[in-house]
Chains A and B, each alone.
Chain A
Amino acid sequence: MSIHHPAPVRLWDRAILAQAGRAAVCKLDPRQMVRNPVMFATAVVAVVATVLSLTATSHQGVMSQITLWLWFTVLFANFAEAIAEGRGKAQADSLRRTKSEAVARRVVSAESALEMTTCESVPAEALRAGDLVECKAGDLIPGDGDVVFGIATVDESAITGESAPVIRESGGDRSAVTGGTRVISDRIVVKITCNPGESFLDRMITLVEGAKRQKTPNEIALTILLVGLTLIFLLVVASLPVFASWSRVDIPLMFLAALFVTLIPTTIGGLLSAIGIAGMDRLVTFNVIAKSGRAVEAAGDIDVLLLDKTGTITLGARQAAEFVPLGGISERDLAEAAFLSSLADDTPEGKSVVLLARQRFGFQAPPTEDLSFIPFSAHTRISGVTIRGASWGGVMTATSEIRKGASDAILRLVTQTRELTGSIGRDLAQAVERVARSGGTPLVVARDGHLLGVIHLKDTIKPGIRDRFATLRAMGIRTVMITGDNPLTAAAIAAEAGVDDFLAEATPERKLELIRQYQQGGRLVAMCGDGSNDAPALAQADVGVAMNTGTQAAREAGNMVDLDSDPTKLIEVVMIGKQLLMSRGALTTFSIANDVAKYFAIIPALFITAFPQLQALNVMGLASPQSAVLSAIIFNALVIIALIPLALKGVRYRPGDAATILRRNLLVYGVGGLVVPFIGIKLIDLLVSGLGLA
């Protein structure tokens, strides 16, 4: 499946900018401002400053300029949030557009197991969880749900961007449908699984809308830190006039206001919300919908990645490469049994068995009414076919059972009825081992309780996957390959792919058990899954990415949904989580480091009249106390605007070990945060004094 990315919204999209400009003003509403304590404090100071400059009798020019920049500081922060929201909404809207006007046909009464239904037309928004709706060819599916009757092809391009329609049917692992997708053929009855406002899209939209957005745990903790720092600086600034009075220093109230606003962490305070929204946004760009911000944060913390072998580590399709008959069995007999049992098997493996058997012996398919297929189940790890006694190829045959599956599963089945005789057990073990050691998957075939031989399925490791695992290991993330293969095959592939560990002969229970085991050791686990039997493991995992093609149960259990159903994306999800946390940390560090320069700009300015010698602390050589304070406050406001692109794009993330990443980021954002404002404030001061503004 090709990965389709919604066209990424340009950083400075004009429509979004205009909208954000308006939103920045609307967000001055105190009820909204109070959600962001640092900016709320700034806004309160700005109000006070406005009153001060309006009632001032002297220095009105500088005072009104300071007031103006205080307001700009608040507006810039609002603007940053509004842009992030705008970009998020632009993406969400394009997903939602199809959905809004949908009309649903709700089932009022039904006959013979939903074969025939009586329906009423209701708007899609009126649907509640549990409602049944009928969708025919051409209909939009009105909400997220599960197919409970029928089979249909569905065009999901509105969601996934993938143009090829997909099959959705009741039962099985392909029963989930998403609101806003269109039925192309046939008729299905869908049981709606969520109330209006709770669908994946709705949830995602609330994640990118600032006013409704729930803060994530780390965001809350960070906000507490910022509030604490604000309180500390409030004490510093409020008590300053008292201490200064000893030296008969009279500090203008406006300067105190400016000092307070420059010291409190306005940079991170103003951008925190934008960073969070932008993180969600980046996920959406990757066609992954997170159901909560918490999940995205957890993604950054992941220690263990459980990856399904097939489709993630190896190319999805394992190809039948040879038939290995046991002693006394002809290759043709084995191939025939394999052929018959694989006829109904739609998986690439099954198809390749049929193909190989045809190529080698030219078999023709028998009439299907004589065959009843036993589909593969994750429990027994066996599939097969039962052939009713009938004539085909002109020969009467007795009822015959063909089973194929993993060697231990088939062996258990066979030995249920009789003991293995002679060397057959050893022969099988040898054949299985030979195939397994070569990294292939041995598929054992038995007919009527007799072992026939082994199909050698060849696995192909995806190119480049080894390097990705090496990168993950360097990041401190352990990769565990999950496979239904026997331990030998699993070990061979695990070694070839370079994963740290593997779980062979995996069942949903063992998978769940493994997750619990890792979690008990304090590790955070991520996995992806699609089937209903994956749901418990998805729910247990700290980050569970459900495939969009999976069942509704799986999609409900996971905390993210991958619209492209690409299990490899788990790795990207982890990277996005890390990038979100890093952006937050980098800007916090930058913001706090900035204070050093601001102190050196403002403190000499405040006290220089009383102690002219304090000019020595004016290391930037700022022109005058007025221009020093004004320059600091202008820098403080402008740095928010300057950092909006960084907040939206996230800091550059190059995978590596924590020490390397920390060293680089400390150098850029820590040392940078110390140095940049010295230069910035000096430049602004040159401009301010040059233009005669102060």
Chain B
Amino acid sequence: MDANGLLTIVVFCALVLALTPLLGRYMTAVFDGQVKGLGWLERPIYRLCGTSADEEQHWSRYALSLLAFSAVGMLLLYALQRLQGGLPWNPAGLAAVAPDLAFNTAASFVTNTNWQSYGGETTLSYLTQMAGMTVQNFVSAATGIAVAIALIRGFARHSARTVGNFTVDVTRAVLYLLLPLCVVGALALVALGVPQNLSAYTSVTTLEGAQQLIAQGPVASQMMIKHLGTNGGGFFNVNAAHPFENPSALTNLIHMVAIFAIGAGLTNTFGRMVGSQRQGWMILTAMTILFGLSLAVALGAEVQGHPLLAAHGIDQLASPWQSGGFLEGKEVRFGVVTSVLFSIVTTAASCGAVIAMHDSLLPLAGMMPLLNMMLGEVIIGGVGAGLYGMMLFVLLAVFIAGLMVGRTPEYLGKKIEGRDMTLALLAILAFPLCIFGLGSIAMVWGQGAIQDAGPHGLSELVYAYVSATANNGSAFAGFSANTLLHNILLGLAMLAGRFMVIIPLLAIAGAMAARKTIPPSAGTFPTDGGLFVVLLIMVVLVIGGLTFFPLLALGPLAEHLTLAAGTLF
């Protein structure tokens, strides 16, 4: 492993950990309504939505507002795509997007997935990109954060009827959190060489004498929200592997930190709002350990290089003359270690931006992004989604093992009852339902989209459905998803993976808020110690991970073992 890569990992982790309490404190203030500066902008928005900053909503109203907001957003996106041919800002004269693709894309952006079945520059007009996709990059991220905040309020409050106000939470998330961070981050990126202009493409003559058209545009502003909001949809087709999106190792570091920043910060916000930062740190510790394990396995596989090349006596190990590893499909500027780190980061969070093609990772290294998403993206996770997803596992862990201390299960002083279990399971069922259910339908009627034979082919299809369900948006290249069947099925998977989790969780938030808080005692199940961290990790791996063991065995594990034995398909 090269020292450069190792240093990147260390600096990356240190930056995320250092930012966590800062962002955590800031977000607590934002959602407690203590950050005010933009009141003149907030008030008209609330008035327009027929609400006010003081109004609070019952969880069901909160959920309805969220659903209505997302539904309207999705309809708008769909309409924009279908009508773009007759709308302005369409210099390339792009025609209406096909209905199934428009549905898929609308679902993708509303659910913060940014799965792209299409090629951006050849499908969507500037208007669709700006008024549709970019808006959703902000508000779908804000929606995720709002749900997490509502859930946190559920645990923090007692004997309360309400969990917050959806309009207020989303507005504040955008105005006070996402926009300022994007402005600052974008300026930093511009300073580091990321283009931000509205100029026409530049035509240059290369050294070979060929003509090349160099695409550019307002890249920096989109980069920041793409990572900060764990959206992942790139400005350029090759995403963050493009030197204009990601000119240097430093911008690469900023991208990665931006992907984790809000998700990690929310664990601290959680701790602060429930009155014990330690509770938040324990959640983050569990996430960090899972992240470390995932990274270790992927790196372990990748730095060895390709076994078949090794068999030919080709040296792939890191040395003063080479960064080492199997570089096909990786970001050659940064080396294998940083490429793998980015892949793990982008799938641990639900970002989906890439600097290396996940399809090109060696089987075991490719399995880890897949597994990260299968676990429900609870390692930091999508903004908001990571925390509320992890809360599902926390509830399960407390419920399964909590009885072992001789009390009925409770978390943060809230008893966990039958109804909560039903709701939590409903949310957890979303994953197997989409991945196994929709996935097997796709397997039967949509095999044509698979490019490669053998276990790798299976991984391509499974990856697509896992990525959609987990609202990640990254893909195993080679899978031709833009077909009627896959567009519809993947669209459904994205919607179910998002709302089948959010709605039950908001119901849980409402139930928790209404409940009394039992003061902790020596007999209380301890959730602020190492023991709980170990337990939580075990539950995530056993309940979240083992379910997918058969698929992993048929896909990446079989590929790895057959490759090691020298078999290619």
Contact = CB atoms under 8 A, between A and B. Distances in A.
A247 B407 contact: no
Contacts of B523: 303, 475-477, 657-658
A591 B378 CA distance: 24
Contact of A586 (B404, B418, B542, B565): B404
B432 A582 contact: no
B542 A659 contact: no
Contacts of A614: 553, 557-558, 561
Contacts of A221: 399, 409, 416-418, 420-421
Interface of B: 158, 396, 399-409, 413, 416-418, 420-422, 425, 428-429, 432-433, 436-437, 439-440, 443-444, 447, 450, 454-455, 457-458, 461-462, 516-519, 521-526, 529, 531, 534-535, 538, 542-543, 546-547, 549-551, 553-554, 557-558, 561-562, 564-565, 567
Contacts of A663: 531
Nearest to B396: A225
A611 B560 CA distance: 11
Contact of A474 (B407, B422, B522, B526): B522
Contacts of A669: 404
A424 interface: no
Contacts of A232: 428-429, 432, 547
Contacts of A581: 403, 406-408
A586 B402 CA distance: 9
B404 A665 contact: yes
Contacts of A218: 403, 408-409
A440 to B, nearest CB: 33
Nearest to B416: A221
Contact of B525 (A522, A593, A658): A658
A551 to B, nearest CB: 31
Interface centre among B408, B542, B562, B567 (most CB of A within 10 A): B408
B115 to A, nearest CB: 21
A301 B440 contact: no
B405 A658 contact: yes
A651 B428 CA distance: 30
Interface stretch (A190-198, A237-245, A391-399): A237-245
Interface string A507-535: 00000000000000111100000000000
Contact of A243 (B396, B440, B547): B440
Contacts of B461: 246
A18 B15 CA distance: 68
Interface stretch (A58-66, A325-333, A342-350, A595-603): A595-603
B459 to A, nearest CB: 10
Given A218-B408, A596-B546, A614-B557, A659 B529 contact: yes
B553 A238 contact: no
A430 to B, nearest CB: 40
Contact of A522 (B409, B437, B519): B519
Interface string A558-585: 0000000000000000000111011011
A662 B549 contact: no
B401 A235 contact: no
A589 B531 contact: no
A482 to B, nearest CB: 20
B462 A653 contact: no
Binding site of A, secondary structure by majority: helix, strand, loop or mixed? helix
A670 interface: yes
Given A220-B418, A246-B447, A662 B526 contact: yes
A589 B401 contact: yes
B561 A592 contact: no
Interface string A598-628: 0100011011001101101100000000000
A477 B526 CA distance: 15
Contact of B558 (A220, A588, A611): A611
Contacts of B534: 666
Contact of A228 (B401, B429, B546): B429
Interface residues of A, number: 75
B526 A658 contact: yes
Contact of A231 (B429, B521, B549): B429
Nearest to A616: B561
A146 interface: no
Contact of B407 (A246, A300, A604): A300
A8 interface: no
A658 B420 CA distance: 23
Interface string A219-237: 0111011011101110110
A611 B399 CA distance: 38
A375 interface: no
A249 interface: yes
A217 interface: yes
Contacts of A606: 550
B522 A585 contact: no
Contacts of A588: 400, 403
Contact of B549 (A478, A599, A657): A599
Contacts of A235: 432-433, 436-437
A243 B562 contact: no
Contacts of B546: 595-596, 599
B171 to A, nearest CB: 34
Contacts of A229: 543
Q: Which 7 A/B pairs are nearest by Cβ-Cβ distance?
A: A585-B403, A476-B523, A578-B406, A228-B425, A476-B521, A476-B522, A613-B561
A297 interface: yes
Contact of B522 (A242, A584, A596, A658): A658
A473 interface: yes
B428 to A, nearest CB: 7
Interface centre among B396, B433, B542 (most CB of A within 10 A): B542
A28 interface: no
B439 A239 contact: yes
Contacts of A523: 518-519
Given A239-B436, A603-B550, A617-B553, A522 B518 contact: yes
Contacts of A596: 542, 546
Contacts of A236: 432, 436, 547, 550
Contact of A670 (B401, B402, B436): B401
Contact of B535 (A220, A521, A603, A666): A666
